[in-house]
Structure 1
Amino acid sequence: MWLQKLSLINFKNYSEAELLFSPSVNAFTGNNGAGKTNLLDAIHYLSLCKSYFNPIDGQQIKQGEEFFIIQGAFNKNEQDEIVSCGLKRAQKKQFKRNKKEYQRLADHIGLFPLVMISPNDISIIIEGSEERRRFVDNVISQTDNAYLDEVLLYNRNLLTRNALLRQIALTGKYDPALLEIYDEQLVLSGNRIFEKRKVFMQTFTEIFNQHYRYLSDDAERVELVYESPLLKEDFAELLKKSLERDRILERTTTGIHKDDLTFTIHGMPLKKFGSQGQQKSFLIALKLAQYTFLHRQKGFEPLLLLDDIFDKLDDNRTYKLMKMVSDQDFGQIFITDTSRKRITAIFKEIEVQVRIFDIDKGEVGNLE
């Protein structure tokens, strides 16, 4: 699968743009703030129906305009596919594939798989467990539509149970039978999610380890571990044991919404003891493992988007990364960098052709 053409109208800092891409490596070069990352975000929209950086769709409309349109022409399994996203201020987002509008955006997820590597990904390491669960859910959802529906159902059930706990605290009226019904619903969807996460992590961890060993020349010992309350005890029993605490705190304190990933380097927390370069290598290995997992599950190469990838990586890891992603196991790649000279030199060294677009203030200039 590859993206042949991208068209934009009033998207972020672009009034209008049309770009024709190479099926291999494409690079956007220019100063910070020129709009390079916005092009990656437009591609992300076409794949996952939303911005990678900002969940508020209306804020993607160019200042002073009333709407935006993004359209992409894909080639997938030798078939042409047109995907478009449009939004008018104060109206519902429209998402279409081959001119047919989706009734549920979830039905589009996974059809055009994509992996994005961005400086923002550092939140996976330094922020709370929600960021790491979101990462896991994003990977699984692109291969399993039923999983995404299950997560949405679990979150609804969790909100309902929490609302009941607050009501009990407010009124003092406790109906064990009603709470038991809510618990059963939460356990049913929670167990399904847990089993899928557990199976996924068994495969994913092995792939991650392979990628990190390659990037670091096997010089560092890192570990990625899946943590869940359900690994130690049955979910229904956990809810019973935590009932008193839940009533005091007025929220559900155990369940798969407490799942986490732990990252260590040489047995120590990566967040505290990993250098910036080691943290970035860890993140890149995570995302490359995501790419490999999606590739195996889908049977074709996802898109790979690399935003400001060279910052904080030494020359050896930069060379190995570009050599790796330019290999035959990877498909179409999009890269942003402030230096055209650096892009040219790197791909000349590894003998891979790259199409370079010069970006300046929302305008697409020369390409080679």
Structure 2
Amino acid sequence: MHVTHLSLADFRSYARAEVALGPGVTAFVGPNGQGKTNLVEAVGYLATLGSHRVSSDAPLVRMGAERAIVRAQVRQGDRQQLVELELNPGRANRARINRSSQVRPRDVLGILRTVLFAPEDLALVKGDPGERRRFLDELVTARSPRMAGVRSDYERVLKQRNTLLKSAALARRHGGRNMDMSTLDIWDQHLAQVGAELLAQRLDLIAVLQPLADKAYEQLAPGGGPVALEYKASAPGEGHTREELYPQLLAALEGVRKQEIERGVTLAGPHRDDLVLRLGRLPAKGYASHGESWSYALALRLASYELLRAEGNEPVLILDDVFAELDARRRDRLAELVAPAEQVMVTAAVDEDVPSALTGARFRVAEGTVERA
């Protein structure tokens, strides 16, 4: 799988941009603040419907413009598809496949797959649980695009349930009558049903990702492991399948209901879980050095790439200003590991930041222009 052409209109700093691409390595080189990351961010957005830099679409639209358009021609084997997203902050985004068929944005998921390395990845190890949940859920969706709908359903049910809990909490605090909790029982069932499917996918992902992450860490930092991925659930139990996890989640919700009504928020479910990353016998967060944390984050991304490739969907690899963050040993090892990929996109401030193992096309980026070097 690789991108053969990228088109941008009013995306970030670009009023217009047309970039012809091909398999192998492509490096975008230019001073900081000139728009290199904006290019690869657009590619990543087409693959995940999200940015690795911001949580909303508004910053992605060029100042003064009402909307942004990101379009890419994607080749997989003998098949080519044109995928397009129109970003409309405050309104529904729109999507097209091959220009003629208008579809839901989440219907484009799976046409393009990416694995993106960026300085922000350090938060996978050092950051809050939400960073690790997002990592899991994006990879779950890359493996099975239908999970985008499951994730959306879960967020919708969670929002409705939290609204009901907040109303119950306010009524209790102000001396009102107790609310009819039969409605909450119904939302419990909905949350447990959708949550069980999401949780089952996460647990399956961790089982197959674990050995790949351990291998990748050993390649990046020989003798520094082992690493272990441990899922910490807010609804503890032994279940692994959707059928087993459903009653487990229901029981957990029942067990915390009193506290939920007092606090007005849902306290059990996949949205409260964490992925504990262990290095040796200790959790990486709080114990790993800066270099070890970087190696761990990179190992998770390399493992993601190997997993998707093994399942027949080799993704585009994107390395956004990563090499400047690494020492010479990790830089060379990472470059050697990613060089054989079908398509690799690299951003760097100077030519020297692109390792010699990554030879290929090079573009100069300056003041909103992209020119082949």
**TM-score normalised per structure 2:** 0.89
The Cα shift of 1:181 comes to 1.8
Match of 1:300 in 2: 313
Partner Cα separation in structure 2 for residue 101 and residue 12 of structure 1 = 26
| Structure 1 segment 44-123 matched on structure 2, within 5 A | 44-87=44-87, 92-123=92-123
The equivalent of 2:223 in structure 1 is: 218
Q: Deviations over 1:14-64 (max 9, x none)?
A: 232222223010001111111110110121233233433224334323224
1:184 & 1:62 partners in 2: Cα distance?
43
Query: Residues of 2 paired with 1:57 and 1:272: CA distance?
Result: 32
For residues 16 and 182 of structure 2, what CA distance do their matches in structure 1 show?
A: 59
User: 1:176, CA displacement in angstroms?
Assistant: 3.6
Q: Deviations over 1:164-202 (max 9, x none)?
A: 222223143232432222212222112222222111111
C-alpha deviation, 1:88, in angstroms: 6.0
SS where residue 271 of structure 1 aligns? coil
Q: Does 1:360 align with 2:366?
A: yes
CA contact (8 A) 1:194 1:230 kept: no
Residue in structure 2 matched with residue 228 of structure 1 by the alignment: 233
Are residue 130 (structure 1) and residue 93 (structure 2) matched? no
SS at match of 2:323: coil
Structure 1 residue aligned with 2:145 = 145
Deviation at 1:92, TM superposition (A): 4.0
Alignment-derived partner of residue 188 in structure 2: 183
Q: Which moved more, 1:264-273 or 1:287-296?
A: 264-273
Shift, 1:324, TM fit? 0.9
Any stretches of 5+ residues in structure 2 without a counterpart?
239-247
CA contact (8 A) 2:13 2:368 kept: yes
> What is the CA deviation profile of residues 280-324 of structure 1, one whole-angstrom value per residue up to 9, with x for unaligned ones?
111111111111122223x13111110111133221221111111
Aligned to 2:279: 265
Residues 69 and 246 of structure 1, relative CA distance in 2, 3 Å threshold:
closer
Paired amino acid for 2:366:
D
Look up the match of 1:39: 39
Q: State the secondary structure of the residue aligned to 2:228.
A: strand
Counting aligned pairs with the same residue, the percent is 28
Paired with 2:131 and 2:189, the residues of 1 have a C-alpha distance of 27
User: Equivalent residue of 1:110, what SS?
Assistant: coil
User: Which secondary structure state, in structure 2, belongs to the residue aligned with residue 272 of structure 1?
Assistant: coil
Give 3-state SS (helix, strand or coil) of 2:324's partner.
coil
Structure-2 change in CA distance of 1:43 and 1:229 (3 Å): same
Q: Counterpart in 1 of 2:242?
A: none
Shift, 1:111, TM fit = 2.0
Contact 1:48 1:108 in 2 (8 A): no
**Which amino acid letter does the alignment assign opposite residue 356 of structure 1?**
R
Which one of the candidate residues 284, 291, 309 is aligned to 1:277? 291
Q: Is the 8 Å Cα contact of residues 276 and 312 (structure 1) preserved in structure 2?
A: no
- Asked whether the equivalents of residues 277 and 312 of structure 1 are also in contact (C-alpha less than 8 Å), the reply is no
- The DSSP-based 3-state class of the residue aligned with 1:365 is strand
- How far apart are the structure 2 equivalents of 1:17 and 1:164? 47
Q: Quote the residue 1:289 is aligned against.
A: 303
Q: What is the Cα-based RMSD across aligned positions, in Å?
A: 2.1
- What is the match of residue 246 of structure 1? 260
Alpha-carbon contact 1:29-1:339 (below 8 Å) kept: yes
3-state secondary structure, aligned to 2:146: helix
Flag the 1:270–1:27 CA change in 2: closer, same or farther, 3 A: same
Secondary structure of the equivalent of 2:103? coil
Separation of aligned partners in 2, 1:168 and 1:118:
43
The answer for the alignment partner of 2:179 in structure 1 is 174
Give distance in 1, aligned partners of 2:164 and 2:359: 60
- The C-alpha deviation readout for 1:133-155, integer Å capped at 9, x for no partner, is 11101001112233222222222
CA–CA distance in structure 1, aligned partners of residues 345 and 168 of structure 2: 53
Counterpart-to-counterpart distance in 1, 2:307 and 2:60 = 30
Measure, in 2, the Cα distance between the counterparts of 1:11 and 1:176.
47
1:324 to 337, 354, 364: 337
Q: Distance in 2 between matches of 1:56 and 1:342?
A: 30
CA distance in 1, matches of 2:237, 2:59: 43
Mapped pair 1:18 → 2:18: yes
Given candidates 196, 209, 213, the residue that maps to 2:214 is 209
* TM-score computed with the length of structure 1 as normaliser: 0.90
CA spacing shift, 1:326–1:195, aligned 2, 3 Å: same
Give the letter aligned to residue 242 of structure 1: V
Shift in CA distance, 36/140, structure 1 to aligned 2, threshold 3 Å: same
Count of aligned pairs: 359
Q: Tell me, which stretches of 5 or more residues in structure 1 are unaligned? A: none
Higher deviation after alignment, 23-32 or 357-366: 357-366
SS in 2 for 1:72: strand
The letter of the residue matching 1:71 is R
Please give the alpha-carbon distance, in whole angstroms, between the structure 1 residues aligned to 2:299 and 2:290. 14
CA contact (8 A) 2:151 2:198 kept: yes
Distance (whole Å) between structure 1 residues aligned to residue 275 and residue 50 of structure 2: 25
Paired amino acid for 2:5: K
